Amino acid sequence: MFTLKTVPLKLTLLAVFVTTATADEPPKGAAPLDLKGKTVQRLEVSQSQIGYTSTKVFYTLGDQRAVVVIDIDNGKKGFPVSGKVCQFAKEATPEGMAKWVNNQHSDGLFPDVPEPTATVKLPADACQSVESKLLGQKKANDTTYNEYRVEIKLAETKVNDQLRLQEFKDSVKVYVVAK
């Protein structure tokens, strides 16, 4: 019978060390989500029927059946950034995923869209706004908004065993009610 007592101490420590050393590293088989790729479809949305809202940016990677959704809060100081990765089944088409994206920011016009098979929220420290600049003002529905250009940064992040998000920087517009 095999017991822990029969395993040499050096071998046990080596196994613990190897497990600990590789726990946070992206798996070698994980496909990179490159948001700068040539086939990535980018959609920036910051306006609704009632005026400007928090800015959402959708990065659709059709060939990988994934959509990365980044949200930049326009109601809090410092433009907090959050994100999630939505994975779809292999049967999902880029057109179906585009309809799903549309439903996330509009009136839900499309009834039969693929739904994500998995959604992974990105860690708070992986998403950040690094710089902002006031560009001017815009008016919508009798409300004046300050228009900012906000630079965001996403850190390389292990999403799951199949995917890892590559480091990424982008520039988005965010609108804040002028006071």
Per-residue pLDDT of the chain (179 residues; tens, 9 = 90+): 444 444 454 433 334 333 333 334 444 567 899 999 999 999 999 998 888 999 999 999 999 999 999 999 999 999 999 999 999 999 999 999 999 999 999 877 888 899 999 999 999 999 999 999 999 999 988 899 999 999 999 999 999 988 999 999 999 999 999 98
Domain boundaries, the chain: 27-177
In sequence order, the β-bridge partners of residue 163 are 31
Q: Cβ contacts of residue 137 below 8 Å, gap of 6+?
A: 144, 145, 146, 147, 178
Q: Which parts of 43-152 fold into alpha helices (H)?
A: 94-105
Question: Around Cβ 17, how many Cβ atoms within 10 Å?
Answer: 10
Q: Model pTM?
A: 0.81
Q: What is the rounded radius of gyration, in angstroms, for the C-alpha atoms of the chain? A: 21
Q: How many other C-beta atoms can be found within 10 angstroms of the C-beta atom of residue 41? A: 14
